[in-house]
Structure 1
């Protein structure tokens, strides 16, 4: 693939900005232009040398693009698509970065752009937002799901897959329907469940807040994601409601079944319920043995280069900090940091963070 391509961005927030930074770093000869309603973000990107041209509207400048990344809020897709279509060349590839794919694919079909669209979902993110928090490392070793339209050529898919891989991400091809069902199961439903658990405690707590006071360990771990953006999750539920509702039915059924076993004191069934969950959970790549419990973890931004992981381990060993588990986090949709390090005790977190920060590493406590 050529290295001096032209790339356009509609939206230059956390994800759009991080992709633009990665393209600038890995393809310095590329030409990048961007439109965003936030003019301050565009000024910052120009000052950083990330983009070559900032735009106050979507216009003919996009006609020279080899790639256009649609990184605006999902609710704005239909409006932006109608504008972009006026200026896209027949050889331009359009992509997006949304966490729900069915809706954008339907808009693409209605716009007659199926032969030029590959949906994208970089599974990396942060509670921080905006261009100011974007960084190249956000994509490093993160899964980047691609959902090509049926009408697009295999050669175009191959080239775009190579581009995404060259930015340090891990491309994964799925159909848009499979993507939405999978993410509903492993991301959307857990967010609904976590929020429901937190609201249950809120409603059940005593006036003096004793439940909130002593909530710790497992409860805080499994409900951490309930702190995510309510606007984002409102939109996800509205755009992927069918899949979430279907899985909620299955989940509610499983809860009713386990309630029956608890009510009848079904010892063997209860044991199998927890044991099967334990075995499957422990088969996850980054799972620790045993039941879910409080973990003492930090996440660290590191470059994907030889010796980077070993350097972290060596630094911690020199300061006699024992590591329980260490590994690359590929799905970072709601968390910063490419490397996750787990310790045996809580006191190690602060000590390790201080030492690594003094060495120039960016640390994100879990």
Structure 2
């Protein structure tokens, strides 16, 4: 089975490494705009060879789109033009509505499966890929009723075989929920990092006084802007709504600080503490 990985970065590379463990005879073809990434991915054993898109896709049984979401939107129709009759295309993008719309009008739409593995780190590139990233994590599949049964079955089987838990929802539901539980946290981390850099001009002070709390909160600010700027743009309506809600709660909490309303501050934090229960319940599922 030939599998082409379009975009040999953290997610595409980690997916390939996980599949290699389960399917040692699978042949992996890498497609990447960076020659350095291609050579590194071969050296690391992520892929077996690097080819241009026009050569890789026609000989592939499975094509995995793991580039930034703005490029996925552009690539979906091109890849569906190039695939063999029974091949399957799956994307790993963090937004789904515009990607699904890009596939919907194509004659080969049934060969496409829209997916979003809920896993990642702040690092990027093939050097960041590791086989433990995806097992035991969730993956969301969207618009599965539009995919051919054999393509859907293949994608489901591969995700299950590497230990992922599959969930299903519409592209619209996906993008709305992700605005709150993923995209908003990245925006706030970027904003926190920006604020500290702008207001704490002495970088040595930042280094000396930053605690583990600050480091964990600002970790996502180290993520790739090339990846996240298109995500924020494609999900801008939902993200703007989530940001609006967040800003209102920040304003509310600022009032508690300004008025020294310790009881209200305590109650606010106590309510927020309930996220521990929610996340603990999710971890046990």
Q: Give your verdict on TM over 0.5.
A: yes
Cα deviation code 1:68-95 (max 9, x no counterpart) = 1012233323443343222223432211
For residue 18 of structure 1, what is the aligned residue in structure 2? 14
| Unaligned 5+ runs, structure 1 | 288-326, 331-366
Distance 1:266-1:167 versus aligned 2 partners, 3 A rule: same
Is the Cα–Cα contact under 8 Å of residues 205 and 212 in structure 1 kept in the other structure? no
Of the three residues 165, 168, 180, the one matched with 2:175 is: 180
d(CA) in 2 for partners of 1:281, 1:29: 43
For residue 67 of structure 1, what is the aligned residue in structure 2? 62
Distance 1:155-1:249 versus aligned 2 partners, 3 A rule: same
d(CA) in 2 for partners of 1:9, 1:46: 12
Distance 1:30-1:250 versus aligned 2 partners, 3 A rule: same
For residue 297 of structure 1, what is the aligned residue in structure 2? none
Mean alpha-carbon deviation: is it higher for 135-144 or for 185-194? 135-144
Normalised to the residue count of structure 1, the TM-score between the two structures is: 0.66
Q: What does 1:97-112 align with in structure 2 at a 5 Å threshold? A: 97-112=92-107
d(CA) in 1 for partners of 2:139, 2:16: 15
For residue 266 of structure 2, what is the aligned residue in structure 1? 271
Distance 1:213-1:20 versus aligned 2 partners, 3 A rule: closer
Q: What does 1:143-292 align with in structure 2 at a 5 Å threshold? A: 143-153=138-148, 156-205=151-200, 213-266=208-261, 268-285=263-280
Q: Counting helix residues as a fraction of each chain, which structure ranks higher?
A: 2
Rg larger in 1 or in 2? 1
Cα deviation code 1:110-136 (max 9, x no counterpart) = 434432222222233334432244332
Of the three residues 112, 132, 136, the one matched with 1:137 is: 132
Is the Cα–Cα contact under 8 Å of residues 63 and 88 in structure 2 kept in the other structure? yes
Shift of 1:246: 0.5
Cα deviation code 1:276-320 (max 9, x no counterpart) = 111333442299xxxxxxxxxxxxxxxxxxxxxxxxxxxxxxxxx
- Aligned to 1:91, the other structure's residue is in SS state coil
Normalised to the residue count of structure 2, the TM-score between the two structures is: 0.82
Give me the CA root mean square deviation: 3.3
